[in-house]
Structure formats: structure tokens, C-alpha cells
């Protein structure tokens, strides 16, 4: 547990842990893309904090946009994936880096067909960068190119991750216990 974890949630990853790992990820991405321009595409709303910190560590040329999907209520998956925000502008010829807070079941990325839609629109290359990977819950195959941390099957909040819209603003990632938050 990091020293900067100061709230009611048991800390899984401190703000310092997260920032250190983001620097490592950015260095890896910089190496892989060389001088190529990246279009980072963050998935709303969870990826906002990760996206903001990650792109500020990159030295390759970056442009960014967001896409929005809505698929969760509380801690459970429910029904269809609703598109709430699309990419504006041309993506033909671009190298896309999808930035996601967490890959859990993999359903959002798979069933939204985001990757194949981007390729259909002319992206030359689509890679996935997630801060957290929960492989034990995977029901849909997702090819992840950059992973911040692999975590156990626990519901977590903070640093973009929510429970019912709350706790996204925490600078650290904590373990959410529904019994304690009724």
C-alpha cells in the first residue's frame, strides 16, 4: 500500500504507483512509435484521467479524441452497449492508440466493434493500452498491447473508475466493498 492512500477505500494502487507505471508505459509507446504521430482515442468516462497523464508523458506527436460507450450500471454489466460519443474528423491513415481504464470481460471493446470500425475507416494500425487488466473475468477476447497493471477479480474505484458515477476523482485506485457502501 502506498503512503499517499488516505481515504475509506483499501488502497490497491497508490497515486505514486500509478504515475510511475504511466512513465514506463509512455517510454515503451514512444519507443514503439518512433517519430510516428499517434491518435489516442480514450474511452469515456473512465479513461479521462489515465489519458491525460499518459499523453503528457509521451514525446511522440499526439492528437486525441474520445469515444463513449455506456454498458455498466453499478458494478454489473447490463444489456446493450450504447454509443454516447463518436470520433469527429478523419482517421484515415492514422495510427490509433485506444486508451481504456480497465479491460474486464472485454465485452465493451469487442461488442462495440470499435477496432474493426476504425480499420474500416482507414486507420493503418489500432493498438490498445489499458491501465488495468482483469483477465480472470474475460468472456471476450481482446488483444491488449500495453497494460499498466494486471489485477485480481476485485471491483475497484478511483483514477477514473467509478461506482455509480462516483469516486472517479480519487488520485489512487481502491478496492470497493459494496457491503460497506450501501
Binding site for Mg ion (CB under 5 A): 46, 72
Q: Are 126 and 118 in contact (CB under 8 A)?
A: yes
Contact between 149 and ligand IMP by CB under 6 A: the answer reads no
Residues 45-84 that bind ligand IMP (CB under 6 A): 46, 71-72, 77
Contact between 103 and ligand IMP by CB under 6 A: the answer reads yes
d(CA 77, CA 81) in angstroms, rounded, equals 10
H runs (alpha helix) in the chain? 15-33, 48-57, 107-111, 114-120
Nearer to ligand IMP, 33 or 50 (CB): 50
Of 10, 44, 65, 105, the one binding ligand IMP by CB under 6 A:
105
Q: Are 96 and 123 in contact (CB under 8 A)?
A: yes
List the one residue out of 169, 119, 156, 158 whose CA is nearest residue 128: 119
| Residue of 17, 101, 104, 162 marked active site | 104
- 104 catalytic per annotation: yes
Residue 53 binding result from ligand IMP, Mg ion, none, given CB thresholds of 5 to 8 Å by partner type: none
Residues acting as catalytic residues:
104
Amino acid at each position: 500500500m502506498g503512503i499517499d492512500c488516505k481515504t475509506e477505500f483499501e488502497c490497491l494502487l497508490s497515486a505514486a504507483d500509478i504515475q510511475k507505471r504511466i512513465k514506463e508505459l509512455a517510454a515503451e509507446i514512444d519507443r514503439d512509435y518512433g517519430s510516428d504521430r499517434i491518435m489516442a482515442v480514450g474511452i469515456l468516462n473512465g479513461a479521462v484521467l489515465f489519458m491525460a497523464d499518459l499523453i503528457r508523458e509521451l514525446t511522440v506527436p499526439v492528437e486525441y479524441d474520445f469515444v463513449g460507450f455506456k454498458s455498466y450500471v453499478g458494478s454489473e454489466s447490463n444489456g446493450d452497449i450504447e454509443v454516447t460519443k463518436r470520433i469527429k474528423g478523419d482517421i484515415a491513415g492514422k495510427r490509433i492508440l485506444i486508451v481504456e481504464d480497465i479491460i474486464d470481460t472485454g465485452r465493451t471493446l469487442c461488442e462495440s466493434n470499435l477496432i474493426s470500425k476504425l480499420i474500416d475507416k482507414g486507420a493503418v494500425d489500432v493498438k490498445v493500452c489499458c491501465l488495468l487488466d482483469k483477465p480472470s473475468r474475460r468472456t471476450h477476447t481482446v488483444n491488449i498491447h500495453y497494460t499498466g497493471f494486471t489485477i485480481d477479480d476485485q471491483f475497484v474505484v478511483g483514477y477514473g473508475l467509478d461506482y455509480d458515477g462516483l469516486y472517479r476523482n480519487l488520485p489512487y485506485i481502491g478496492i470497493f466493498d459494496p457491503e460497506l457502501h450501501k
